[in-house]
Every structure is written in structure tokens, then in C-alpha cells.
């Protein structure tokens, strides 16, 4: 069967199980969009307001579903507008295939209209990228791209398809299904690992995003039960365990829960599962593992020794390795350690009944959601308040930018997460700073009839950076006090959503009740909070647990 390159692309996307793509059309992808039009009964396309929003939507879709996100953009500025979204997916290990058009093969290298070397530009932030120069390579390239995006440590892959390749003809259905070559793994002696686990008295499990990627949540929970071990989470590992689990201590690190970070610092054995030991999670590296044996389990051997030197490195699929260890481990109890951890848990941020503060706002919103509601965030103080205070009970219900820290990520991610969850009610916690970066995607929310509730924690400042300026720069608030006059409620109405502005818990509860409309309606709730709200507790960069800040 002879098909044009654009036809091959759409047929192969469908064969790969893709039912939704996000993107924005342009001259260099007109043939692709023509084929999307012809196949609209088999594959859905969501047009966004901006290519960055489309990439974040594909990212959010992938995180919420566990499937590969797909985004399409034209050449030149369309392609370059994807770069932040691709880098965000790369640093958070999100499976993503980005498809860009380019000028025809005979026009490459001539500074043609909207020509750009997107392969060279994205090289540092993809697992792999392809420039397809011959239509005969296209089918195989697409198969390889999806395989690479989903194998090993997952991540983004880019396919650049010149316009001439999209129109050329060749036989389709003859490419061989590829397989990833077996690579040598880091060897380890299982008996010594088991001995270290059996001999410990103060075990601690540090759980990261690799657990969610490997669908190993049940294994981590069983390991915690079997070892009587408390669990701390990286931000990317949030949702790996239900918050209702008594031994889930919450997030570790610079902006984490005191109990989680304290238990991590006092353990004699740390089982680090699917984590990369980010600098904000570890603080002072010299202090971080001084007291404990470290067993690091990860699919990516490049993470071993990169930030923390571990005593044992177990490379491979997290789920498989945990199942193997569990088959050899019997249940034990560490009552003295459990008692200590219970004391750590008593050190909490005080409640502020009746106050219109972040914790109470987030708790109020939580009462109007379900355990499977997808929650997205942007980046900043509101992000930390959300991961600290929102009660997550199910995996893949948090969409947040961990590695790159991308302000403006949240609304696009909420769009993708909402569509991926079957167009169920989705919540975005954001701030006036982050929301201002990509609020244009409200037009996508409304035009797609997506049930998304946007909650803006609006303190009129760039709160996280301002907080650092207050602590480390003697209160010199350089360019972090915004004092913008934007009326977000009116702006929401202009986009076709319904906007609200609230300043008390009573007003918020009234609005949440009014907007509790199930899976219909798009809402923006602007919550005006005090400029001086802080993220607590906090460990200053490069410091140890001894430097934790629990008050202003």
C-alpha cells in the first residue's frame, strides 16, 4: 500500500494507540493537518492557543494516563515554542513524542522562511531526535520514537519531518518492529543487599517519580509494611502512596514535611526507589547520608553516584526489583524507631482556624473533589502549599513541574490531564505570577468545554523568590512585588469561563458550592491572600536538617 508521508504518520500514530494529539497548524505541517482532518473519526486533535501550551498539554496527558503524549507544531517559531515543554518533559522523565514540520529537503540550509534547526536546538533536552530525510525512513522512525520514549527512563523524542517527506510516496506496512538492545547493567549481589535490609533498625524508604512511572505503588506499600519503614516522597513521587497511609510522612527536602526530612536524616538504612537525589531534596550532600547505608534502585544507571554515593546500586525496572526483594523478605517490627517517627510527626505547621490562608483554601477545595480528581499546579509557593496540604489518595493525580520548575506549565497540563482522565473535573492551583504566563490557554479550556477549576492563590508578588529575598537578601525585594491591577475574574468572563473573586473562607465556600457542577463548567476563582504568607518548613539551600526553618 503506497501512501504519502503525512498519511503514514497518521496511520502509524493510530497504530501506536494514540487517540489524542495536541498542536497548532502552520505552513510546514499543512499536509499532516489535512490527513488529521480526513482521519478525525479515528484520532482527535486539540488546538491550543500556543505551542508551549500544546506541549504542556501532551505532557499532562501522559502523566495522567501513563501513555505517550503527542504534540505537533510547524517549523521555525512553532518548533522553537515547544522547547520549554520538551525540556520540562525531559527533566521529569515524561514519555512524549514531538512532531515538527520543516522546509522541504532541497530548501534546508538556505535560511528559508520559517526554517530552523530544531534537531540541533533540542539535542540537549531529548532522549533522541530524528530528521527524516527520506519518506522510506518515516514508518520505522515513528516506531523507534515511541519505543525510545517509553523504554528505560522515559522521556521526550522529537521527529522533524520536512514538507517534501510529507508529500512523497512509499510503501507502508513493511517496517520491522524495533526492539531496544540489551545493555549491560550494574551488577549487584542480592544476598548482601538483603543482609543490609535485615540488619537495619531504622529503615526509611525514599520514593520518587520512578515508582509511579513503573506502576510500582503496591510494591512500595508492601515493602513499607514488611520492613515497618516510614516513607518519604520526592515531589515527583507524590501520589505514589495514599496520604491516608499512616507511615506516609509526605514530601522530603527543602520545602517538605518536617517528619519526612527528619526521619530521612535519622535512619540507618535508606531505600531510595526511583529517585535522583535532587539538590532541593538532599540539602548538604556531606550530611545527607552520613548516618546511613544507601540502597539506590533506579532504571537509569547514570543516576548512580551522580549526586549521592550509594552503598548498593540496583539497576532495572523498579517494580521487578521490588518484587524480587519482597519474595525474600519477611515482616519485621521496629517499635523503637516507630515511636521516634511518631514524635517527628508531632512537629507540624500550626492550624489557623478561620483564616483565609493557603492551607485552609486548599483544604476547602479538597472537600469538593474526589480521590481520583486530577490536580495540576504551576510553580512557586502555591506549588509547595499544594504538595504539602492537599490530600492525594490515588497515583497520577498530581501534575507538576519538578525538575525544570516551569512557571506557566499548569494550565496546559490541566487541559491534557482533564482530557486524559475522560474529561472529568480537574483542578489547577496556580498564582497570579504563573497564571499570567500562559493564561491564554483559557480559550482552549472554554472552546473544548473542559470542566477545569482554576484556583489562583493571589498575593500580588512572586512569592517564592520574594521569600528567598527576605531570608537571604535582607529584604531587598527586587522586582518581586508585582502590584498588577489585573482583574482575573473579569478576564475569565471575557474568555467565556465564569470568574469569581474571594477574600474569605465563607466567600470561597459559597463559590465552591456554586461551582460544584460535576463535569461541566469552566471556572476561575481568584483568592486574595496576604503577601507575607510563607512556605514552611524550609531548609535553606546547601544546609542540613539542623537548619530547618519552622517560623518567620
Left (φ > 0), alpha (ψ -120 to 50) or beta: where does 93 sit? Answer: left
Task: Please report which residue ranges of 177-292 form alpha helices under DSSP H.
Answer: 190-199, 209-213, 217-227, 258-266, 279-282, 285-288
Task: Say which of 11, 51, 115, 303 is annotated catalytic.
Answer: 51
CA dihedral (180, 183, 186, 188) positive or negative: positive
220-223 own/partner pairs: CB under 8 Å, 24+ apart: 220/273, 220/322, 221/245, 222/322, 222/326, 223/271, 223/322, 223/325, 223/326, 223/329
3-state helix, strand, coil in the chain (%, to 5): 40, 20, 40
Q: What are phi and psi of 79, to 5 degrees?
A: -70, -45
Residues in Cβ contact with 504 at an 8 Å cutoff, skipping those fewer than 6 apart? 356
Task: Say which of 4, 127, 163, 498 is annotated catalytic.
Answer: 163
Contact predicate 99/70, CB 8 Å: yes
Q: Is the bond preceding residue 537 a cis peptide, omega within 30 degrees? A: yes
Q: Could you give the CA distance from residue 170 to residue 167 in angstroms, rounded to a whole number?
A: 10
For residue 486, which of 435, 529, 443 has the smallest C-alpha distance?
Answer: 435
For residue 387, which of 280, 465, 501 has the smallest C-alpha distance?
Answer: 280
Residues in Cβ contact with 16 at an 8 Å cutoff, skipping those fewer than 6 apart? 68, 142, 143, 146
Residues in Cβ contact with 256 at an 8 Å cutoff, skipping those fewer than 6 apart? 232, 250, 281, 388, 537
Task: Say which of 1, 15, 38, 113 is annotated catalytic.
Answer: 113
Longest dimension (CA), the chain: 73
Helix then strand count (H, E) for the chain reads 24, 20
User: Which residue carries 531587598 as its cell?
Assistant: 476
- Beta strand 128-131 pairing with 203-207: unpaired
For residue 281, which of 310, 249, 253 has the smallest C-alpha distance?
Answer: 253
Give the count of alpha carbons within 13 A of 87, CB side only. 16
51 is catalytic: yes
What is the DSSP secondary structure assignment for residue 141, as one 8-state letter? Answer: H
Task: Say which of 464, 495, 498, 534 is annotated catalytic.
Answer: 464
Q: How far, rounded to the nearest angstrom, does the alpha carbon of residue 126 sit from its chain's CA centroid?
A: 16
Contact predicate 474/450, CB 8 Å: no
- Beta strand 203-207 pairing with 231-233: parallel
Task: Say which of 114, 136, 140, 323 is annotated catalytic.
Answer: 114
Q: Could you give the CA distance from residue 481 to residue 220 in angstroms, rounded to a whole number?
A: 43
114 is catalytic: yes
304 is catalytic: no
Active site residues: 51, 113-114, 163, 464
Amino acid at each position: 500500500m503506497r501512501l504519502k508521508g503525512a498519511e503514514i504518520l497518521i496511520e502509524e500514530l493510530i497504530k501506536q494507540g494514540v487517540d489524542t494529539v495536541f498542536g497548532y497548524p502552520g505552513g510546514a505541517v499543512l499536509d499532516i493537518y489535512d490527513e488529521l482532518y480526513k482521519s478525525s473519526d479515528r484520532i482527535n486533535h486539540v488546538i491550543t492557543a500556543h505551542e508551549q501550551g500544546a506541549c504542556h498539554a501532551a505532557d499532562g496527558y501522559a502523566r495522567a494516563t501513563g501513555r505517550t503524549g503527542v504534540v505537533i507544531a510547524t517549523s521555525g517559531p512553532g518548533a522553537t515554542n515547544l522547547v520549554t515543554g520538551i525540556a520540562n518533559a525531559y527533566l521529569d522523565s515524561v514519555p512524549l513524542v514531538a512532531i515538527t514540520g520543516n522546509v522541504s529537503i532541497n530548501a534546508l540550509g538556505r535560511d528559508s522562511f520559517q526554517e530552523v534547526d530544531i534537531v540541533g536546538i533540542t539535542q540537549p533536552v531529548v532522549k533522541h531526535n530524528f530528521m527524516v530525510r527520506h519518506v522510506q525512513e518515516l514508518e520505522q522512525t515513528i516506531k523507534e520514537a515511541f519505543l525510545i520514549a517509553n523504554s528505560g527512563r522515559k522521556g521526550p523524542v522529537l521527529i522533524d519531518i520536512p514538507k517534501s517527506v510529507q508529500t512523497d510516496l512509499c510503501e507502508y506496512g513493511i517496517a520491522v518492529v524495533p526492539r531496544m538492545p540489551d545493555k549491560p547493567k550494574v551488577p549487584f549481589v542480592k544476598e548482601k543487599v538483603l543482609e543490609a535490609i535485615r540488619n537495619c533498625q531504622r529503615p526509611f524508604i525514599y520514593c520518587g517519580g520512578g515508582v509511579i512511572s513503573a506502576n510500582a505503588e503496591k510494591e512500595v506499600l508492601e515493602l513499607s509494611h514488611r520492613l515497618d519503614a516510614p516513607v518519604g516522597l520526592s515531589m515527583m513521587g507524590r501520589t505514589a502512596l495514599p496520604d491516608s497511609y499512616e507511615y506516609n510522612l509526605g514530601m522530603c527536602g527543602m520545602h517538605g514535611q518536617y517528619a519526612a526530612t527528619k526521619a530521612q536524616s535519622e535512619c540507618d538504612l535508606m531505600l531510595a526507589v526511583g529517585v535522583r537525589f535532587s539538590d532541593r531534596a538532599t540539602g548538604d550532600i556531606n550530611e545527607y547520608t552520613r548516618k546511613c547505608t544507601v540502597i539506590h534502585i533506579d532504571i537509569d544507571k547514570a543516576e548512580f553516584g551522580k549526586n549521592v554515593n550509594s552503598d548498593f546500586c540496583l539497576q532495572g525496572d523498579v517494580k521487578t526489583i521490588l518484587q524480587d526483594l519482597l519474595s525474600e523478605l519477611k515482616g519485621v517490627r521496629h517499635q523503637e524507631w516507630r515511636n521516634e517517627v511518631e514524635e517527628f510527626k508531632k512537629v507540624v505547621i500550626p492550624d489557623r482556624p478561620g483564616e483565609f490562608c493557603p492551607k485552609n483554601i486548599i483544604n476547602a477545595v479538597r472537600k469538593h473533589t474526589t480521590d481520583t480528581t486530577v490536580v495540576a499546579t504551576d510553580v512557586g509557593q502555591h506549588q509547595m502549599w499544594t504538595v504539602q496540604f492537599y490530600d492525594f489518595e490515588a497515583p497520577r493525580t498530581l501534575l507538576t513541574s519538578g525538575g525544570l520548575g516551569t512557571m506557566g506549565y499548569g494550565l496546559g497540563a490541566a487541559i491534557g490531564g482533564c482530557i486524559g482522565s475522560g474529561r472529568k473535573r480537574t483542578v489547577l492551583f496556580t498564582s497570579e505570577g504563573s497564571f499570567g504566563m500562559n493564561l491564554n490557554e483559557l480559550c482552549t479550556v472554554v472552546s473544548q468545554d473542559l470542566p477545569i477549576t482554576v484556583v489562583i492563590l493571589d498575593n500580588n508578588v512572586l512569592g517564592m523568590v520574594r521569600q528567598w529575598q527576605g531570608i537571604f537578601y535582607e529584604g531587598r525585594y527586587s522586582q518581586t512585588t508585582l502590584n498588577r491591577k489585573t482583574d482575573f475574574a473579569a478576564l475569565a468572563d471575557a474568555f467565556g469561563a465564569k470568574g469569581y473573586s474571594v477574600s474569605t473562607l465563607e466567600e470561597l465556600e459559597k463559590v465552591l458550592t456554586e461551582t460544584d457542577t460535576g463535569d461541566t463548567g469552566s471556572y476561575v476563582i481568584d483568592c486574595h491572600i496576604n503577601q507575607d504568607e510563607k512556605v514552611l518548613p524550609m531548609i535553606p539551600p546547601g544546609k542540613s536538617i539542623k537548619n530547618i526553618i519552622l517560623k518567620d
